[in-house]
Amino acid sequence: MTRPRDFWSRRKAAVQAEAEAEVLVAADQVIAAQQAELEEKTDADILAEFDLPDPDTLQPGDDVSGFMAKAVPDRLRRRALRRLWRLNPVLANVDGLVDYGEDYTDAACVIENIQTAYQVGKGMLAHIEALAADAEETTDDVVESESDTRTEPEAAPVEPDLVPEPVSVARAEQPEEFDLPPAPRRMTFEFEG
């Protein structure tokens, strides 16, 4: 049976956690100071300092792991990854089956002052109803003009003897033996209880 920790062991654990948190904060401050210092330097100076090649001159098979260090600024890391993605045919040639792979936020495709019949909350219903009413009015006008100008001929009665009989389709002969693969065997399990 485990005993609950007493006051002094809990206190010791809390002091140790505070010390670890202080170390993490100090490390974050050091990294932030290094990042601020690197932001002031040019890319060429940073590449020389970390002994890294220019990301734009990377070739297939070059190692980009040096750009993934925390001390390297994000702008250089992104340039190296872009170059890697362009060089690798697996990453560069998207197959087109990726959902949301296109940039639908392209401002060049936006049409200024576009007018549409769509209404928020109503959709296209009012527009479609107006089109249907216009179509109905035009068909009514056409029917009225046609009925005024001509008379309808009487329909001739259809004799039941002249109706064609349905034709039956003969089945093609099938060979008696088929070359089918064998049916899969069923596996049974017996459990002893």
For range 98-117, the mean pLDDT: 72
Nearest to 62 by CA among 92, 43, 83: 83
pLDDT band at 55 (very low <50, low <70, confident <90, very high): very high
Residues 57, 63, 67, 68, Cα dihedral to 10° = 150
- Mean pLDDT, the chain, as a whole number? 77
pTM, entire model: 0.37
Cα–Cα distance, 71 to 41 (Å, whole number): 13
pLDDT over 70 (residue 148):
no
Q: At 171, list the tokens.
A: 């089945």
11 falls in which pLDDT band (50, 70, 90)?
very high
Residue pLDDT, tens place only, 152-170: 556 555 555 555 565 555 5
- Give the max Cα distance, the chain: 111
